[in-house]
């Protein structure tokens, strides 16, 4: 059985709750007719809009994702949201370690590691984001950064046959820039990441349960330059997922391949 192709919309903090629900509704109406079985379409609105989006995509194949989670189950953690609270809302996926959180919330690799573990313990699939900054790239440290981020994030992480992990390579400097990296650079990053996985997981788990995707200025015109089954199994999409027509063109571009 071939693996799914993931199309993941990261709406960041870009939409009002109503705009998020309306967008989810439009996507549901259109994609219900067309969404191919092997495509997993995941919408990640901000926390405040999760319920409204969950309601909008009810009875469709579209899945719900969150943009973050806290690493404790319960307790005096003002402002945080637990994995089981997300699960209760119908969330199946969680973006973890997005570069914007690493930058603005100072999220560390150690916290990211805990968040991955807590997701897996709660039947949530982590979407782990890794990638180098422009400065790191300039001094030739891209591979090193990927190695550090992956080895710290995956320390003592265990996956069973029923659990999945998605790793998104997102070069920080192209996010939101309108200019993606060359597909061969994304393929190189995928190979570096893949090369690290046997340290943590069995061959079977790597083959069946782990997917590597690309994110950073993906749109309908370039998405298929990146997707290559077994190498890059999907895209994490920010700006190009915020308008129904544009995002649907991207989905259709993936479907027609």
Name the residues annotated as catalytic.
Answer: 98, 170
The residue within the footprint of ligand PGA, chosen from 20, 175, 251, 254 (CB under 6 A), is 175
Return the number of the residue (97 or 238) whose C-beta is nearest ligand PGA. 238
Question: Which 216-235 positions form the footprint of ligand PGA (CB under 6 A)?
Answer: 216-218
| Token pair listed for 47 | 């926390």
Return the number of the residue (137 or 201) whose C-beta is nearest ligand PGA. 137
C-alpha–C-alpha distance, residues 210 and 141, integer Å: 25
C-alpha–C-alpha distance, residues 23 and 38, integer Å: 22
- State in angstroms the smallest separation of the CB of 219 from ligand PGA: 8
The count of chain residues that interact with ligand PGA, using the rule CB under 6 A, is 13
3-class SS string, 7-72: EEEECCCCCCHHHHHHHHHHHHHHHHHHCCCCEEEEEECCHHHHHHHHHHCCCCCCEEEECCCCCC
Q: Using the rule CB under 6 A, is 107 a contact of ligand PGA?
A: no
- Segment near ligand PGA (CB under 6 A); pick from 34-42, 52-60, 66-74, 170-178: 170-178
Nearest to 213 by CA among 58, 8, 13, 37: 8
Give the x/- contact pattern for ligand PGA in 6-45, rule: CB under 6 A.
----x-----------------------------------
Distance between first and last Cα of the chain:
18
Applying CB under 6 A, the residues found at the interface with ligand PGA are 10, 170, 175-176, 215-218, 236-240
């Amino acid at each position: 059985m071939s693996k799914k192709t993931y199309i993941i919309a990261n709406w960041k903090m870009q939409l009002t709750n109503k705009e998020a629900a309306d967008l989810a509704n439009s996507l549901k109406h259109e994609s219900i007719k067309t969404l191919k079985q092997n495509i997993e379409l995941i919408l990640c609105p901000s926390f405040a809009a999760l319920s409204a989006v969950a309601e909008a995509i009810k009875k469709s194949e579209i899945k719900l994702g969150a943009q973050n989670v806290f690493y404790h189950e319960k307790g005096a953690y003002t402002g945080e949201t637990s994995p089981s609270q997300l699960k209760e809302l119908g969330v199946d996926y969680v973006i973890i370690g997005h570069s914007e959180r690493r930058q603005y919330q100072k999220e560390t690799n150690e916290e990211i590691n805990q968040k991955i573990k807590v997701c897996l313990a709660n039947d949530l699939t982590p979407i782990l984001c890794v990638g180098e900054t422009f400065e790191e790239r300039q001094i030739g440290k891209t591979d090193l950064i990927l190695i550090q981020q992956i080895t710290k994030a995956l320390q003592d992480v265990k996956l069973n046959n029923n659990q999945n992990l998605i790793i998104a390579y997102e070069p920080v400097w192209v996010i939101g820039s309108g200019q993606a990296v060359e597909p061969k650079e994304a393929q190189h990053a995928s190979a570096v990441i893949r090369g690290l996985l046997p340290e943590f997981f069995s061959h079977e788990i790597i083959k069946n349960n782990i997917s590597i995707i690309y994110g950073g200025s993906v749109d309908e015109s370039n998405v298929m330059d990146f997707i290559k089954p077994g190498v890059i199994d999907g895209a994490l999409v920010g700006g190009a997922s915020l308008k129904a027509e544009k995002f649907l063109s991207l989905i259709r571009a993936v479907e027609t391949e």
